[in-house]
Chains A and B, each alone.
Chain A
Amino acid sequence: MTFEGENMSLQGRKHDAAYNFAYLDEQTKRMIRRAILKGLAIPGYQVPFASREMPMPYGWGTGGVQVSAATLTPDDTLKVIDQGADDTTNAVSIRKFFERTAGVATTEATDAATVIQTRHRIPEAPLTEDQVLVYQVPIPEPLRFLEPRETETRKMHSLGEYGLMHVKLYEDISRHGAIATSYAYPVKVEGGYVMDPSPIPKFDNPKLSDCPAIQLFGAGREQRIYALPPYTRVASLDFEDHPFEPSKADHPCDLCGSQGSYLDEVITDDRGGRIFVCSDTDYCRTRREAGHTGPQGAPDAEARS
Chain B
Amino acid sequence: MHAQALEGGFTDAPTQAAQAFRAAMSAMARPGRIESADGVAPPAPVSPAAGALLLTLCDPETPLHLAGDHDTPEVRDWVTFHAGAPLVGAEAAQFALGTWAAVAPLDVYAIGTPEYPDRSATLIVEVAHLVAEGARLTGPGLCGAAELSLPETEAFRRNAALFPLGLDFFFTHGTRLAALPRTTRVEGT
B115 touches A154 (CB 8 A): yes
Cα distance, A33 to B19, chains bound together (Å)? 12
Q: Out of B56, B115, B118, B141, which one reaches A38, CB within 8 Å?
A: B118
| B20-28, B42-50, B97-105, B149-157 - interface stretch | B20-28
A74 touches B15 (CB 8 A): yes
B141 touches A229 (CB 8 A): yes
Chain B: CB-nearest residue to A157 = B115
Asked if A45 meets B117 with Cβ closer than 8 Å, knowing A37-B24, A38-B168, A40-B181, the reply is yes
| B57-65, B72-80, B129-137 - interface stretch | B57-65
A37 touches B17 (CB 8 A): no
Cα distance, A154 to B112, chains bound together (Å)? 13
* Contact residues of A between 75 and 109, Cβ < 8 Å to B: 75
Asked if A42 meets B141 with Cβ closer than 8 Å, knowing A22-B14, A73-B19, A158-B115, the reply is no
A30 touches B56 (CB 8 A): yes
B61 touches A31 (CB 8 A): yes
Chain B: CB-nearest residue to A47 = B118
Q: Out of B26, B143, B183, which one reaches A190, CB within 8 Å?
A: B183
Chain B: CB-nearest residue to A43 = B140
B183 touches A43 (CB 8 A): yes
The distance from the CB of A101 to the nearest CB of chain B, in whole angstroms, is 11
Cα distance, A270 to B116, chains bound together (Å)? 53
Tally of A interface residues using CB under 8 Å: 45
B122 touches A229 (CB 8 A): no
Q: Out of A33, A35, A192, which one reaches B56, CB within 8 Å?
A: A33
Chain B: CB-nearest residue to A39 = B118
Cα distance, A29 to B18, chains bound together (Å)? 9
Is B161's CB within 8 Å of the partner chain A? no
A231 touches B25 (CB 8 A): no
Q: Out of A37, A40, A72, A229, which one reaches B18, CB within 8 Å?
A: A72
Contact code string A129-156 (vs B, CB < 8 Å = 1, else 0): 0000000000000000000000000110
B181 touches A41 (CB 8 A): yes
A26 touches B14 (CB 8 A): yes
Asked if A33 meets B14 with Cβ closer than 8 Å, knowing A38-B118, A70-B21, A232-B140, the reply is no
Chain A: CB-nearest residue to B21 = A33
The distance from the CB of B117 to the nearest CB of chain A, in whole angstroms, is 5
Is B13's CB within 8 Å of the partner chain A? yes
A27 touches B168 (CB 8 A): no
By a CB distance below 8 angstroms, the chain B residues around A190 are 140, 183
Asked if A230 meets B29 with Cβ closer than 8 Å, knowing A20-B14, A73-B18, A73-B19, the reply is yes
Is B70's CB within 8 Å of the partner chain A? no
Is B182's CB within 8 Å of the partner chain A? yes
Task: Mark A residues whose CB is within 8 Å of B.
Answer: 20-22, 26-27, 29-31, 33-43, 45, 47-48, 70-75, 154-155, 157-159, 190, 192-193, 212, 214, 227-233
Question: Lowest 4 CB-CB distances: which A-B pairs, in order?
Answer: A21-B14, A229-B141, A41-B181, A158-B114
- Sample 9 A-B pairs with CB under 8 A, ordered by A number: A30-B17, A31-B59, A40-B28, A72-B18, A154-B116, A158-B164, A229-B30, A230-B29, A232-B140
Task: Mark B residues whose CB is within 8 Å of A.
Answer: 13-15, 17-19, 21-22, 24-26, 28-30, 56-59, 61-62, 114-118, 120, 122, 140-143, 163-164, 168, 181-183
